[in-house]
DNA sequence: TTGAAAGCGCTAACAG
DNA sequence: CTGTTAGCGCTTTCAA
């Protein structure tokens, strides 16, 4: 059933049906009603392929993220989806696994599909190249991570602030040898969280010990390896800030294996809250990000750009929150130097 | 840059370019090379909208699931995506939140988009109506849950087997008042897991106490409420099988609140393994599902149907595994297997 | 305000 | 084996 079937049945032209459907132009009230009734009656659904071909743009947003298994990103995507659906866009999820080549391929697909917009969390600040997309006039919003090679709208969290709060909190708890496990250097989130950590140490005249800053891969295995190395070094930390929730999984596994007692032997602050953060013992202190709202904000920006709204590049920043629980709070004021019993 | 630009530059017809691009028909080796070189040089990308319009079908699969926040489904989707991408399909994720109306809307969209196939985990065995899709000849694969109103290909897990293994294990551990928290009655997974639980009890002449079977909503809050009710009843269970990982989160929260000691006071088996299952204390005994492989299997079926392969309705069944850890093992009783044993 | 007609980019039927 | 041609369903000039 095509637009012509509707036109014939309603005794108008296809052009008129199109106008009614799109709310463009003015159509006599009577015809509007007739067309709408006919559409309803015939169960007519516009053919999106034909529409996209004619309009030269598909009612689709591509969302390019690096890790679909990270609950932060799924919450983010839900925020984007909710806004997108409210405005008639389909949302296509593209998962890159932090792989620059996959990311490039998805950007090519976005180009071929003539999508109405792209929301991307770049796999790399320097290497992710948005210029082709920009050149084609595709509206783009960066989310979570900043790209450096193109000026585009963005929605970010104040990572430095969150990391600073986390680290300051560890300092207040009496930790003096505070380590940091951050993500790949090529991402802005890893860099900014590291910077916040360093700023907090600087402020009180502390400095990281050699080897106490570790760059891992934002994945559990990376966190696991980094934690093992740290804990088995000559000068193990008594405080640890882990800048990503996936890596935190690995860190906790390592602590369990090595019998490191938290928080007495190692005060711990993670990143991103999880439903199970209160189910482990000790309950986890984390920096919580407003993931869903981040997604909604990105969607809002993209809606405006898709509608052709011009104007300078905009950047929205949301604030993270430190949620203090047990993993960072010393039960006694004295830092424990002695050996510990098995982890509990 | 269109197919005609390529044709002109390569000094052939657009039809020949199309043939080379699609690998259909035979084209002289020389022309193939010339066309491919030109495509490369011009950076030509086929317009998918035009292709979809012409072919009357988009190279897209819709995946309709009920809970994107459940890691089981994200793993499942990754399996589907991997297969889909290998065969040139985009995968669009549609999240219904167990809402039949949303589900119906997504099915309408799938129809309007003329997608090449749909993979669905029906929100309801009875009410989810696939007949419109079937009537239009859209290839469909049901995954995880069975629909009753249409005969379509499907990939499922043997839920009864997994639930039976879980329950039998609880019985072996000496539990005699074993309760079950399952999902909405309208889903086949909830029904089958309940049936497996009952079969295991029957076999040894046990029966659930009144109120010891609870239907919740596959969400944390539902698990929380159900667990509170059970634990505060006159005859609290000494064993509990929770048929979904989201609900397990709520159950664990309730146990923590009420000070229920696991496994001594309550032996516990959950459903679906998680990265944090070994990080909580006690470590969780669960029935583990091959989520990623389930997705791949569904993708494989859909590839064949998309290619027009006829034949009878097929159903693939994969087996779950009981992973025995601490939450179910009475400290006074020896576990019957190793740290992990296969169900059945 | 409405209709007629052209054309978006591609593929497939049909000639040659 | 290759080219010509028509048309997928829709929107949008341009005329009336």
- Rounded to a whole number of angstroms, the distance from the CA of B109 to the nearest CA of chain A is 9
Q: What would you report as the CA-atom Rg of chain B, rounded to the nearest whole angstrom? A: 25
Tell if A54 CB is < 7 Å from nucleic strand C. Answer: yes
Mean pLDDT for B318-327 is: 98
> In Å, what is the separation between the CA of A203 and the C1' of D6?
75
When pLDDT is averaged across residues A144-163 and rounded to a whole number, the result is: 95
**pLDDT value of position A327:** 98
Is the pLDDT at A35 greater than 90, yes or no?
yes
**How much is the pLDDT for A343?**
30
Of the pLDDT bands very low, low, confident and very high (cuts 50, 70, 90), residue A340 is very low
- Kindly state the tokens that stand for B305: 């149907």
How many angstroms is C1' of D13 away from CA of A89?
27
pLDDT reported for residue A299: 98
Provide the token pair at A321: 């929150």
Query: What is the model's pLDDT at position B331?
Result: 76
Task: For chain A, give the number of residues.
Answer: 344
pLDDT above 90 (res A109): no
What are phi and psi for residue A178, nearest 5 degrees? -100, 125
Nucleic strand C near CB of residue B25 (< 7 Å): no
Between chain A and chain B, the number of residue pairs with CB atoms below 8 A apart is 106
Q: Which residues in chain A are contacts of B58 at CB distance < 8 A?
A: 48-49
Chain A residues 99-118 with a CB less than 8 Å from chain B: 108-109, 111-114
Residues near chain D strand, CB within 7 A: A 2-4, 14-15, 17-19, 21-22, 24, 46-47, 50-51, 53-55; B 11-16, 19, 25-28, 30-31, 50, 53-54, 56
Write down the mean pLDDT value for chain A: 93
Give Rg (Cα) of chain A: 26
Q: Nucleotides of chain C within 7 Å of a protein C-beta?
A: 1-5, 7-13
Of the candidate ranges A112-116, A138-142, B232-236, the one whose mean pLDDT is the lowest: A112-116
The verdict on A198 touching B (C-beta cutoff 8 Å) is: no
* Nearest Cα residue in chain A from B106: A90
State the average pLDDT over residues B3-30. 93
| Residue among B78, B256, B278 minimizing CB distance to A279 | B256
Closest partner residue to A45 (CB to CB) among B78, B112, B256 is B112
Nucleotide nearest to B112 (CA to C1'): D9
**Nearest chain A Cα distance for residue B69, angstroms:** 7
* pLDDT score of B306: 84
Query: pLDDT tens for residues A197-237?
Result: 999 999 999 999 999 999 999 999 999 999 999 999 999 99
Average pLDDT over residues A267-296: 97
Chain D positions within 7 A of any protein Cβ atom are 1-5, 7-13
Dist. CA B157–CA B171, nearest whole Å? 23
B276, B71 Cβ separation under 8 angstroms: no
Average pLDDT over residues A113-122: 95
Which residues are within 8 A (CB) of B106 and not within 5 positions of it... i.e. 6 or more apart? Answer: B62, B64, B94, B96
Q: How confident is the model at residue B344 (pLDDT cuts 50, 70, 90)?
A: very low
pLDDT at B342 over 80: no
Question: What Å distances lie between residue B100 and A132, B64, B97, B125, B232, CA to CA?
Answer: 41, 11, 9, 11, 33
φ/ψ of B180, rounded to 5, equals: -140, 130
The secondary structure of chain A, three-state, reads CCHHHHHHHHCCCHHHHHHHHHCCCCCCHHHHHHHHHHHHHHCCCCCHHHHHHHHCCEEEEEEEECCCCCHHHHHHHHHHHHHHHHCCCEEEEEECCCCHHHHHHHHHHHHHCCEEEEEECCCCCCCCCCHHHHHCCCCEEEECCCCCCCCCEEEEECHHHHHHHHHHHHHHCCCCCEEEEECCCCCHHHHHHHHHHHHHHHHCCCCCCCCCEEECCCCHHHHHHHHHHHHCCCCCCCEEEECCHHHHHHHHHHHHHHCCCCCCCCEEEEECCCCCCCCCCCCCEEEECCHHHHHHHHHHHHHHHHCCCCCCCCEEEECCEEECCCCCCCCCCCCCCCCCCCCC
Which of B110, B138, B275 is the best residue to mutate to test the A interface, defined by the most A CB atoms within 10 Å of its own CB? B275
Q: How far is B74 from chain A (nearest CA, A)?
A: 7
Per-residue pLDDT, B332:
62
| Overall average pLDDT of the A45-66 stretch | 94
Mean pLDDT of A42-54: 93
Residue A336 has pLDDT above 90, yes or no: no
Identify the pLDDT of residue A71: 94
* Strand, coil or helix: B280: coil
CA→C1' distance for A47 and C16 (Å): 36
Residue B329 DSSP code: -
For residue B91, count CB atoms less than 10 angstroms from its CB and return exposed for 0-12, middle for 13-18, buried for 19 or more: buried
Global pTM value: 0.90
Cβ partners under 8 Å of residue B156, min gap 6: B142, B143, B144, B145, B146, B188, B315, B316, B317, B318
pLDDT value of residue A21:
94
What is the distance in angstroms between the Cα of B203 and the nearest Cα belonging to chain A? 34
Residue A332: pLDDT band with limits 50, 70, 90:
low
Residue B3, pLDDT above cutoff 70: yes
In this prediction, residue B154 carries a pLDDT of 97
Asked whether the predicted pLDDT for residue B335 surpasses 80, the reply is no
Q: What rounded mean pLDDT belongs to chain B?
A: 93
Torsion angle in degrees (nearest 10) through CA of B1, B3, B5, B9: 130
**A15-CA/D14-C1' distance, Å:** 13
Give Cβ neighbours of residue B212 (< 8 Å, ≥ 6 apart): B177, B178, B179, B180, B230, B235, B237
In this prediction, residue A173 carries a pLDDT of: 97
Q: Which three-class secondary structure state does DSSP give residue B116? A: strand
Determine the pLDDT at residue A136.
86
Q: Over the stretch B246-288, which tens digit does the pLDDT of each residue have? A: 999 999 999 999 999 999 999 999 999 999 999 999 999 999 9
CA–CA separation, A179 and A122 (whole Å):
26
- A chain contacts of residue B75, beta-carbon cutoff 8 Å: 69
How confident is the model at residue B337, as a pLDDT? Answer: 43
Average pLDDT in the B306-323 region?
92
How much of chain A exceeds pLDDT 90, in percent? 86
Q: What is the mean pLDDT of residues A114-119?
A: 95
pLDDT in tens, B110-165: 988 889 999 999 999 999 999 989 988 899 999 999 999 889 999 999 999 999 99
Q: Does A275 touch chain B (CB under 8 A)?
A: yes
Spatial distance between the Cα atoms of A141 and A120, rounded to a whole number of angstroms: 6
Nearest CA in chain A to B1: A112
pLDDT in tens, B69-87: 899 999 999 999 999 999 9
Compute the nearest-CA separation of A78 from chain B (Å).
8
Q: State whether residue A78 sits within 8 Å of chain B by CB.
A: yes
Contacts of B249 in chain A (CB under 8 A): 275-276, 279
Distance in Å, residue B112 CA to nucleotide C12 C1': 23
CB B62 within 8 A of CB B102: no
């Amino acid at each position: 059933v095509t637009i012509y079937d509707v036109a014939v049945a309603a005794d108008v032209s296809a052009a008129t049906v199109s106008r009614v459907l799109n709310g463009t132009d003015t159509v006599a009230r009577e015809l509007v009603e007739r067309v709408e009734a006919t559409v309803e009656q015939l169960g007519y659904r516009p053919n999106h392929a034909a529409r996209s071909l004619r309009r030269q743009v598909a009612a689709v947003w591509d969302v390019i993220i690096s890790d679909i298994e990270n609950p932060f990103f799924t919450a983010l995507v839900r925020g984007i989806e909710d806004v997108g659906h409210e405005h008639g866009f389909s949302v296509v999820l593209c998962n890159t696994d932090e792989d620059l080549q996959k990311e490039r391929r998805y950007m090519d697909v976005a180009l071929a599909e003539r999508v109405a917009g792209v929301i991307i969390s770049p796999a790399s600040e320097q290497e992710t190249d948005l210029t082709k997309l920009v050149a084609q006039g595709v509206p783009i919003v960066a989310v979570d991570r900043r790209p450096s090679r193109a000026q585009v709208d963005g929605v970010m969290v104040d990572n430095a602030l969150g990391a600073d709060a986390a680290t300051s909190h560890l300092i207040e708890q009496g930790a003096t040898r505070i380590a940091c496990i951050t993500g790949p250097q090529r991402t802005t989130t890893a860099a900014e969280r590291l910077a916040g950590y360093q700023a907090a140490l600087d402020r009180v005249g502390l400095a990281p010990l050699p080897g106490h800053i570790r760059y891992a891969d934002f994945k559990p295995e990376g966190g696991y390896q980094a934690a093992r190395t740290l804990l088995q070094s000559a000068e193990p930390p008594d405080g640890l800030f882990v800048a990503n929730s996936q890596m935190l999984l690995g860190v906790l596994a390592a602590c369990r294996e090595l019998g490191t007692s938290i928080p007495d032997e190692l005060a711990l602050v993670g990143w991103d809250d999880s439903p199970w953060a209160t189910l482990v013992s000790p309950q986890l202190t984390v920096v919580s990000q407003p993931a869903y709202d981040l997604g909604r904000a990105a969607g809002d920006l993209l809606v405006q750009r898709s509608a052709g709204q011009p104007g300078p590049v905009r950047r929205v920043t949301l604030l993270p929150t430190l949620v203090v629980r047990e993993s960072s709070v010393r039960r006694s004021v004295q830092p424990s130097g002695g050996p510990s019993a098995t982890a509990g």
